[in-house]
Amino acid sequence: MINRLIIFILLSLSFCGNLNAQTFLKGKVYEAGTDSLINGVTVFNSTAKLSVHSRADGSYTIMAAEGDRIIFSSIGFVPDTIKVSYDMLLTQHDVTLSVQAISLKPVTVISSYSADSLARRDYYKYIYKKQPGITGFNTPQYGVGISLSPLSYFSAESKKKRQLKKQLIKNEQEAFIDFSFPVDWVEKLTGLHGDSLRLFMYRYRPSYSFCRETSREDMVVYISDKLKEFRKPEVKR
At 55, the pLDDT band (50, 70, 90 cuts) reads very high
Identity (one letter) of the amino acid at 126? Answer: Y
Q: How confident is the model at residue 116, as a pLDDT?
A: 57
Has residue 131 got a pLDDT over 90? no
Question: Of 111, 136, 156, which residue sits at a domain end?
Answer: 111
Q: Are residues 62 and 98 in the same domain?
A: yes
The residue segments making up the domain with residue 127 are 118-172
Q: Are residues 216 and 136 in the same domain?
A: no
Residues 196-211 have pLDDT tens digits of 899 999 999 999 899 9
Residues 60-102 have pLDDT tens digits of 999 999 999 999 988 778 888 999 999 999 989 999 998 875 4
Residues 133-158 have pLDDT tens digits of 544 544 555 444 454 455 455 566 66
Domain count, the chain: 3
Domain CATH code at residue 61:
2.60.40.1120
Q: Are residues 107 and 55 in the same domain?
A: yes
5 found inside a domain:
no
E strand map for the chain? 23-31, 42-45, 50-53, 59-64, 69-73, 80-83, 95-97, 101-104, 107-110
Residues 181-190 have pLDDT tens digits of 988 888 988 8
Q: Are residues 29 and 106 in the same domain?
A: yes
For β-strands 23-31 and 95-97, DSSP reports them as parallel
What is the spatial distance between Cα 210 and Cα 222, in angstroms, rounded to a whole number?
11
188 found inside a domain:
yes
Go through 87-120 and write b for each residue having 16 or more CB atoms within 10 A of its CB, e for each that does not: ebbeeebebebeebeeeeeeeeeebbbeebbebb
How many DSSP H helices and E strands does the chain contain?
10, 9
Q: Are residues 106 and 122 in the same domain?
A: no
